[in-house]
Amino acid sequence: MSENEELEPHISGMSVLEEIDALWDYNDPSASERTFQRVLHGPNANNAEFRAQVLTQIARCQILQRRMDDGHATLDQAAQIVSDQTPIAHIRYWLERGRAWNDSGRVADATAAFVEAFQRAEAVNSDLLCVDAAHMLGVMPPYDMAMIWNQRAIAIAQRSADSRARRWTGTLFMNMGVNHQHLQQYPQAESAFVSALSAFEQIENSARVRLAKLCLSKNLRLSGELEKALSKSSTLLLEIQSESEPPGYAFEEIAECLLAMGRNEESAPIFAQAYAALSAYPWFPPNENERLLRMKRLGGM
């Protein structure tokens, strides 16, 4: 029996994953990092699976705070621990390394990392981690290939006995809709967003329901139905603000509608509000910096 087994013989990689994920405050990566740093030195500190998984999540917190060098350094620490004896930590290592590379524009490296994570997750029959890896591959160009990964992720989530994997379904349909938009396939995008909306309603996630509706509104704008899109986005903004949810994407969509309608002066302060909100939003993709800069420019900032 190894030292780790003597200390924590009951710990498995999947039980650690569930325990660690419960510690996340997804609205506050900084607070989450402090929590993970604290438990890193707790009773399970000598368990390799536990320690490596915690390190991957510390890295994710750091990367969400745009501290890329710190994130990679933390992943380097995890890399010294992971092995075939820590299978779940090994998957999470590749997931977070891939996310870090994707956020910094290293698309080929990120793709290879997510494929590695997916294959390892398949090997240990983890639907949850298979879906996570496939969903990352499903949001990266080229979008025709991303569509295939999205379809694969949806199939896994829908048939899974793991409720955590099934809860991904709405997000996966939403990603599918975005892919269709990239390919200018707006009727197919609408269908995907409707499916996302239904999935979020089933799990009673009202914030994501509103986000799916905002995606449908954007689809109306892209399809040329500007007045209808502006009306729906404006209504959604009021709902989002009343629930104290992040308003940045709603501001952006309203501003884009106004701009498309030639109402440039009206759009400028809304773009400025969108930029202010989304530049501080931890989940805004770092690899979409040009999109942020466009909001800033159109907002006259």
Q: What is the DSSP letter of 105?
A: T
pLDDT, position 9: 33
pLDDT value at 2 more than 70: no
pLDDT tens profile 189-225 = 999 999 999 999 999 999 999 999 999 999 999 999 9
Asked whether the beta carbons of 167 and 153 are under 8 A apart, the reply is: no
Number of H helices, E strands in the chain: 17, 0
pLDDT, position 192: 98
pLDDT value at 12 more than 70: no
Mean pLDDT, all residues of the chain: 93
pLDDT value at 57 more than 60: yes
Average pLDDT of span 147-174: 97
Give rounded-to-5 percent helix, strand, coil for the chain.
Answer: 75, 0, 25
pLDDT value at 27 more than 60: yes
**182: number of Cβ within 10 Å:** 16
Taking Cα atoms as reference points, which of 43, 48, 75 lies closest to residue 59?
A: 75
- Region of poorest pLDDT, from 4-8, 72-76, 125-129, 154-158: 4-8
pLDDT, position 285: 86
What domains appear along the chain, each with residue ranges and CATH number? 1-125 (1.25.40), 220-301 (no CATH)
Q: Which band of pLDDT confidence, cut at 50, 70 and 90, is reported for residue 18? A: confident
pLDDT, position 4: 35
pLDDT tens profile 222-270 = 999 999 999 999 999 999 999 999 999 999 999 999 999 999 999 999 9
pLDDT value at 3 more than 60: no
Asked whether the beta carbons of 288 and 267 are under 8 A apart, the reply is: no
- Separation CA 166–CA 288 (nearest Å): 28
pLDDT, position 102: 94
pLDDT, position 16: 82
- Separation CA 229–CA 152 (nearest Å): 31
Q: Which band of pLDDT confidence, cut at 50, 70 and 90, is reported for residue 8? A: very low
Asked whether the beta carbons of 192 and 173 are under 8 A apart, the reply is: yes
Sequence-distant (6+) residues with CB within 8 A of 131 are: 153, 156, 157, 160, 165, 168, 172
pLDDT value at 5 more than 70: no
Tally of CA atoms within 13 A in the half-sphere of 199 that contains its CB: 23
Average pLDDT of span 45-52: 91
Taking Cα atoms as reference points, which of 213, 220, 216, 219 lies closest to residue 236?
A: 213
- Separation CA 203–CA 224 (nearest Å): 32
- Region of poorest pLDDT, from 6-20, 86-100, 251-265, 270-284: 6-20
